[in-house]
């Protein structure tokens, strides 16, 4: 079997990569000047394709492609791979992408503390890497000048979640079910060690306190961003604390929806539900805000992140200018979050975010 065929069958056997353009697998031309580049190849690997937020971010990224092709006259080939929660799998996906002639690779790390293998391989081949959503530590990002990060400011989402919860507590007496002047809360946490999980919880709680809301933590459950796991954890907390729970702070919408599932399964009347807050503004999350099941969410700008990532990838692949991309420290692009409550949810659902 020829080398190309061998590679192809390895690719298919894994069954976890998807080619998003109908482009011909010719590899990419070398970029000497920007005008000469007629086709580029971008590799993308995600930690888990079933993560709701990540899958929607990738949808946005692919939706932006044809505009970028029209605007630049460049054919853009994309391969998206699912690392299925294995850093070893992700490392070999990046290795394949480097061998297959990708001009730039976008990596949603499985383990944000283990970027070394990827960085070393990419540096050897001189191919830039854009890490996204799962943030590596600054020291790692600074190890080579062709490493970038696209994401958001984790603390900002926690602050906004806390602000909305504080406003609800102060404007609606009925949420303080036992009328003791204290907001009794539970937390549904994302993956241990994920920058967004730790920071969102800390800032949501400290913001409530800064707004003079007295709080009491009744419990927490780590549910790894996952709706089903969150339902299980919430069911346990309901068994333990029942009607004492007045607020659920979930690190993302999927886990907030897991709490909703638990309340429904326990047949708790809607007027007795605690206030439930998410983060992300995924399609399902926004719909739950519209239906009043979630009191609010914080928009994690997947469209902005996808667009920034594509523009950065394009410039890096074509040897273009980075000056128009507003890179912080020459390496970071961080999109702002925004609060979403019932009165503005439709704007977000219609794609007209303010
Ligand atoms: C999102 C989560 C997602 C996680 C994956 C976070 O920024 O809010 O919904 O599961 O990233 O890394």
Closest residue CA from atom 12 of ligand 1: 134
Cβ–ligand 1 distance for 302 under 6 Å, the answer no
Mean pLDDT lowest among 148-152, 321-325, 331-335: 321-325
Predicted pLDDT of residue 326: 86
Decide: 338 and 296 in contact? Cβ < 8 Å: no
Question: 54 C-alpha to center of ligand 1: Å?
Answer: 7
For the whole model, what pTM was predicted?
A: 0.91
Read off the pLDDT band of 353 (50, 70, 90).
confident
What's the pLDDT at 16?
A: 66
Average pLDDT, the chain: 91
Of all protein residues, the one whose alpha carbon is nearest to atom 11 of ligand 1 is 133
What is the position in ligand 1's atom list of the atom closest to the CA of 108?
12
Beta carbons of 188 and 255 less than 8 angstroms apart: yes
Q: How far is ligand 1, taken at its centre, from the CA of residue 141, in Å?
A: 20
Res. 45: pLDDT tops 80: yes
Ligand 1 in reach of 188 Cβ (< 6 A): no
C-alpha span between 267 and 346 (Å, rounded): 28
In 3D space, the residue among 218, 220, 242 whose CA is nearest the CA of residue 229 turns out to be 220
pLDDT of res. 285 = 98
- 110: Cβ below 6 Å to ligand 1? no
- Burial of residue 268 (CB within 10 Å: 0-12, 13-18, 19+) is middle
- Residue linked to tokens 């004492």: 244
d(CA 23, CA 245): 54
| Nearest-atom index, ligand 1, CA of 194 | 12
Q: Closest residue (by CA) to atom 10 of ligand 1?
A: 225
27 C-alpha to ligand 1 centroid (Å) = 32
Of 24-33, 244-253, 345-354, the range with the lowest mean pLDDT is 24-33
pLDDT confidence bin for 328, thresholds 50/70/90 = very high
- Cα of 97 vs centre of ligand 1, distance in Å, is 24
Direct distance between the N- and C-terminal alpha carbons of the chain, in angstroms, rounded to an integer: 55
Cα distances (Å, whole numbers) of residue 189 to 22, 97, 194, 199, 316: 40, 33, 10, 10, 35
Write out pLDDT tens, residues 241-299: 999 999 999 999 999 999 999 999 999 999 999 999 999 999 999 999 999 999 999 99
Residues 97-149 have pLDDT tens digits of 999 999 999 999 999 999 999 999 999 999 999 999 999 999 999 999 999 99
Q: Which helix (H) or strand (E) holds 217?
A: strand 214-222
Q: What is the mean pLDDT of residues 320-328?
A: 89
At 28 the pLDDT is: 34
pLDDT value of residue 21: 56
């Amino acid at each position: 079997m020829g080398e190309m065929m061998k590679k192809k069958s390895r690719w298919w056997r894994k069954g976890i990569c998807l080619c998003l353009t109908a482009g011909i697998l010719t590899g990419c031309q070398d970029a000497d000047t920007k005008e000469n580049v007629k086709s580029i190849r971008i590799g993308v690997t995600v930690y888990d394709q079933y993560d709701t937020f990540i899958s929607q971010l990738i949808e946005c990224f692919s939706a932006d492609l044809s505009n970028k092709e029209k605007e630049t006259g460049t054919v853009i080939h994309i391969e998206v791979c699912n690392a299925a929660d294995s850093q070893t799998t992700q490392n070999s996906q990046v290795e394949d992408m480097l061998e297959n002639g990708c001009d730039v690779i976008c990596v949603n790390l499985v383990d944000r503390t283990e970027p070394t293998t990827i960085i070393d391989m990419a540096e050897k081949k001189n191919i830039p890497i854009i890490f996204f959503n799962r943030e590596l530590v600054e020291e790692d990002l600074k190890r080579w000048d062709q490493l970038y990060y696209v994401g958001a400011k984790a603390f900002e989402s926690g602050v906004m979640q806390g602000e909305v919860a504080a406003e609800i507590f102060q404007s609606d007496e009925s949420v303080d079910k036992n009328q003791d002047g204290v907001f009794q809360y539970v937390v549904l946490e994302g993956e241990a060690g994920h920058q967004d999980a730790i920071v969102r919880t800390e800032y949501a709680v400290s913001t409530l306190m800064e707004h003079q809301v007295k709080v009491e933590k009744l419990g927490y459950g780590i549910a790894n961003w996952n709706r089903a796991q969150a339902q299980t954890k919430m069911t346990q907390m309901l068994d333990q604390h029942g009607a004492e729970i007045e607020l659920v702070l979930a690190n993302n919408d999927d886990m907030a929806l897991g709490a909703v599932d638990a309340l429904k399964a326990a047949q708790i009347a809607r007027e007795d539900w605690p206030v439930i807050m998410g983060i992300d503004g995924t399609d399902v999350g926004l719909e739950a805000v519209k239906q009043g099941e979630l009191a609010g969410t914080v928009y994690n700008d997947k469209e902005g992140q996808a667009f920034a990532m594509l523009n950065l990838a394009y410039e890096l692949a074509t040897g273009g200018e980075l000056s128009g991309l507003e890179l912080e420290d020459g390496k970071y692009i961080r999109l702002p979050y925004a609060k979403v409550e019932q009165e503005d949810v439709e704007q977000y659902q219609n794609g007209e975010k303010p």
